[in-house]
Amino acid sequence: MENPLIEAPVPPVPQEVEPGGVGWLRAKVARFSRPEDHARRRALVLAELASMGSLRDKAFTLTRELQDGEVDRISWTVPVAVLSAELGLPDVSRDIATVSGSYHPQTEITDDAEEAMRRLIERCGGDVDERTAARIGLLVQACDATARLLGKALAAHRSGEDAESLLDRVLREDPPVRLTRRWVGGEVVEVDLSDRPFGAGPKRCPGEAQALRVAAGILDALLC
């Protein structure tokens, strides 16, 4: 049965923040938005995702080009490199990985993450607006979750198993995102996501299809 807590709002994040920093990103992305801002910001993400095509082939090709590289590095760079190319950006995977480490409100904001944000905003054209936050935010969301999904899939692979069956099995048996937080009665409540690997309700992951295509392309290249 669906846990009704998943429909509750997320814990609030500070809104009085310096424009363009990590605090600003947290304040402007759909992920940490209050219900009154959420639908509008989520629509910006959906619009960016809707125009992305052939992600599996592009991930396959880029992985083949980097084939001699460390597998862990491929998992952290290829998904974001492929998605950033689709957004018309250069490969911003390094800065996105840095911001990822400071993205969640319970983590500390490092100076490196603030610098990475400044570069990312410039690369996105310099506008400190909700669309820029949506574009950077979707890359940050993709980075950590897809890298961890790939790490688990590569460790769990059985000989002869294809990319789809492997991803399907890992998402059932060992999902990379097991926990999220909601705000109930003025308190933070943890919600178990183990049986809903992409979440549920209004804040469900909008990037599931794209994540699976990118991950399958990378696994096709690494496993065959």
Closest contact distance (angstroms) between CB of 79 and ligand HEM is 6
Does 217 sit near ligand HEM (CB under 6 A)?
no
Does 100 sit near ligand HEM (CB under 6 A)?
no
Contacts of 54 (CB under 8 A, 6+ apart): none
- The residue range among 17-25, 114-122, 138-146, 151-159 that interacts with ligand HEM, by the rule CB under 6 A, is 138-146
Does 206 sit near ligand HEM (CB under 6 A)?
yes
Closest contact distance (angstroms) between CB of 167 and ligand HEM is 9
Question: Looking at 45, 97, 117, 167, which residue binds ligand HEM (CB under 6 A)?
Answer: 45
Does 84 sit near ligand HEM (CB under 6 A)?
no
Closest contact distance (angstroms) between CB of 217 and ligand HEM is 12
Question: Looking at 117, 193, 221, 222, which residue binds ligand HEM (CB under 6 A)?
Answer: 193
DSSP the chain: ---GGGGSPPPP------TTSHHHHHHHSGGG--HHHHHHHHHHHHHHHHT---HHHHHHHHHHHTTTS-HHHHHHHHHHHHHHHHTT----HHHHHHHHHHHSTTS---HHHHHHHHHHHHHTTS--SHHHHHHHHHHHHHHHHHHHHHHHHHHH--TT--HHHHHHHHHHHS-S--EEEEEETTEEEEEE-TT-TT--GGGS-TTHHHHHHHHHHHHHHHH-
- The residue range among 16-24, 69-77, 86-94, 193-201 that interacts with ligand HEM, by the rule CB under 6 A, is 193-201
Query: Is the sign of the CA dihedral 106, 13, 177, 4 positive or negative?
Result: positive
Number of residues counted as binding ligand HEM (CB under 6 A): 27
Does 180 sit near ligand HEM (CB under 6 A)?
yes
Does 210 sit near ligand HEM (CB under 6 A)?
yes
Q: Give 111 or 220: the residue with its C-beta nearer to ligand HEM.
A: 220
Of 46-75, binders to ligand HEM (CB under 6 A) are none
Q: Answer whether 86's CB lies under 8 Å from 79's CB.
A: no
Q: Which residues bind ligand HEM (CB under 6 A)?
A: 30-31, 42, 45, 83, 137-138, 141-142, 145-146, 149, 175-177, 180, 193, 197-199, 203, 205-207, 210-211, 214
